Structure 1
């Protein structure tokens, strides 16, 4: 049972409600619907799972209804569906049609004292989500049951005020979402420009007038006449090798850092928040040297790469990674940047099509064809160009990211302020 069901205290997010507003437990103003569909309804009506709902916005991610994947529960127009699995994801949907939902969605049916759209905004407000998330049970798959959700307060202005607030939030959030969409589109264009720049530099070089020749590989196309194409295994000083099969259980700072691909952000940097280490006796044999390249071999991150820098301190690498140690006669950074090119990612995708499994072994990586200048100085010039240009683009991307983050924070604050009466809506 919720803490607030046993206390006169209200969550801080509700605050002091305006004069004329009421507050009651959610369970007195909405009904939990648990009606099961018939076999005919299950087969013929649209199905929604928690995965179909966008976090915080309540928008459906799938335009076309899909058949039910499991035996669910019926919902109808103006029900509000709330995800009880990992509630911090804030997946709430105001139903615009009749259908069947996953059992992980609580189906809430408003009474005549609360408007469905107002209820939606209360449930998707950050204060409400944080409040139920704080009372979830289960560490790996945290859930909030009806006892927790039903014993949360529901601010209740008049129906007329609810209507004004809902209409106001519909208009304002649509404007904010439009701005966010434009900024994300700009971020995507910058990312495409970044990859195009990298791809051209590592496959065509910096001189647009240099004579070209066929690379001998259709997916690589033409390359500068004086370049060569070699398999990855022929530019390394040691065979490609797998990392340590060990659990990430320690954070002892005097031990070698244990690098996993999930520790690497989009810019190839190690995240501080995922720091973990391995005992020296376990890490021995898997220690990284400066400019070692790590490649993800399976799962959602397969194909992702990372180049190790000495400034990150002593480190070793995990078993789902493959280490490529580039020979000293080459600039390893050039090969790392090739692993960020469009041509490389097309090779990764073609590998999946051939094997049908998202897995790339050390043997397959070893046979990856990589075009490159034979002159190390030219390799360094290309690397310096890529790094300086990408630094500028990454700065623009970071500004856009911060702008999106501020808009999302404003959106969240606006909803909470409106549904708790902190913001007067005319």
Structure 2
């Protein structure tokens, strides 16, 4: 969809604004906002969290301050923004009274529509300019105080035009958000499908006509009659802990070592490895192709994460991950998929012992997990089938994620264009239901 430009522009003299509509006023931020600095207690004003989605009641995951009597007051209609550059995008117009940490800047709007301020100050273009005015001693972490923020020049249209821009953006962002949500539902369904395909193949096989038998294990149910039933100790020749040598900065004389984060996505990620001095590397900890790394100490949903090592780049087995080396009659790729199956993951979680902020499962407990053992040729066949199926599903997931990214980029660009006057929406009207339906049908095609 294309939009008209304003008939006349003027040069703002500012890089982040560029040319702006001729009739828009250019004044400093302090002309439109006051800094609310009133200190309150969270006993009187409920604590709020400021997220990239706006201002919400305090999240359960938010850090709890020990000084609840030393917070900033927030009144409905205030705009709140995190002053730290590492929290870029955490801001929004508050729809409730409450209190926030002192690290936030609380702005009381005047001479400007609050909803327009919400879009303007959350726009990507303003966010970049806002943090450019910050100060600090660390290159990628600094704060922007109101004493500096108030001097940022803004280009603001008349109030009636602000209202029309808000009306336009409310409609368009709602439409884009609905498309994003649709893509995210598709991603969730594809990921569920991927998990179901893996779980079915490694517990039921690929031949639907093969005779079945009761496994004797409730969570496995019936399995192919010719498969053996044992435990994980029958599948692996070794389960071991990793090296505990202290890690150091990466240099030309270091070697990569695995960490919990290295396998957090289900694959070996060399961007999330540690390093130790090559001279201290003990050969027995160097991974061999086909070795499987297993997260046995982590937060409960992450216990049981696995990844198979099939790389040419050397990698040491680090602490907090178990190294599983398959028996010679066990196909590594098949065992990798077995460990990824929903049935096994749930069994691992049920055996993990909870502790403060994490859980763990012992080597002995892993060895005792019930397991199925198809003939090796069938293991290889199942692994090859799952390679093809998961690659196909992963491609669809990747396409859907790319669609979400493009929609999010369009949403951001549209907001920035509207609030800085790059498009003229003064005559915009929402489409009639019939036109909306036609557009949705066209997009679906």
SS at match of 1:237: strand
Task: Report which of the two structures shows the higher radius of gyration computed on alpha carbons.
Answer: 2
SS at match of 2:73: strand
8 Å CA contact 2:351–2:361 kept in 1: the answer is no
1:353-401: CA deviation from partner (whole Å, max 9, x where unpaired):
7657522244255335252334111100110111101111111111101
8 Å CA contact 1:240–1:366 kept in 2: the answer is no
Measure, in 2, the Cα distance between the counterparts of 1:136 and 1:227.
66
Alignment-derived partner of residue 54 in structure 2: 58
Task: Give the alignment partner of residue 30 of structure 1, picking from 30, 33, 41.
Answer: 33
Measure, in 1, the Cα distance between the counterparts of 2:109 and 2:409.
28
Measure, in 2, the Cα distance between the counterparts of 1:157 and 1:147.
24
Moved more, 394-403 or 138-147: 138-147
RMSD: 3.0
The CA deviation at 1:172 is: 0.9
The CA deviation at 1:228 is: 3.0
The CA deviation at 1:263 is: 3.6
SS at match of 1:164: helix
8 Å CA contact 2:304–2:348 kept in 1: the answer is yes
Divergent runs of 4+, >6 A: 61-64
Alignment-derived partner of residue 18 in structure 1: 21
Task: Give the alignment partner of residue 283 of structure 1, picking from 271, 281, 284.
Answer: 281
For this pair of structures, how many residues does the alignment match?
A: 406
Q: Does 1:384 align with 2:384?
A: yes
Moved more, 167-176 or 227-236: 227-236
Q: Between Structure 1 and Structure 2, which shows a larger proportion of strand residues?
A: 2
Measure, in 1, the Cα distance between the counterparts of 2:347 and 2:142.
38
Measure, in 2, the Cα distance between the counterparts of 1:417 and 1:331.
55
The CA deviation at 1:187 is: 0.4
From the superposition, tell whether residues 202 and 346 of structure 1 become closer, same or farther in structure 2 (CA, over 3 Å): same
TM-score by length of 1: 0.85
Measure, in 2, the Cα distance between the counterparts of 1:10 and 1:327.
70
- For 1:47-86, what aligned pairs fall within 5 Å after superposition? 47-50=47-50, 53=51, 55=52, 57-58=53-54, 60=56, 70-71=68-69, 72-86=71-85
From the superposition, tell whether residues 127 and 335 of structure 1 become closer, same or farther in structure 2 (CA, over 3 Å): same
SS at match of 2:371: strand
The CA deviation at 1:168 is: 1.2
- For 1:258-337, what aligned pairs fall within 5 Å after superposition? 258-264=257-263, 266=265, 268-270=267-269, 273-274=271-272, 277-284=275-282, 285-300=284-299, 301-311=302-312, 313-337=313-337
TM-score by length of 2: 0.82
Task: Give the alignment partner of residue 128 of structure 1, picking from 126, 132, 139.
Answer: 126
Alignment-derived partner of residue 90 in structure 2: 91
Alignment-derived partner of residue 5 in structure 1: none
Moved more, 163-172 or 345-354: 345-354
Measure, in 2, the Cα distance between the counterparts of 1:368 and 1:143.
53
Q: Does 1:149 align with 2:149?
A: yes
Measure, in 1, the Cα distance between the counterparts of 2:152 and 2:216.
66
Alignment-derived partner of residue 112 in structure 2: 114
The CA deviation at 1:88 is: 4.5
Measure, in 2, the Cα distance between the counterparts of 1:25 and 1:87.
25
8 Å CA contact 1:296–1:303 kept in 2: the answer is yes
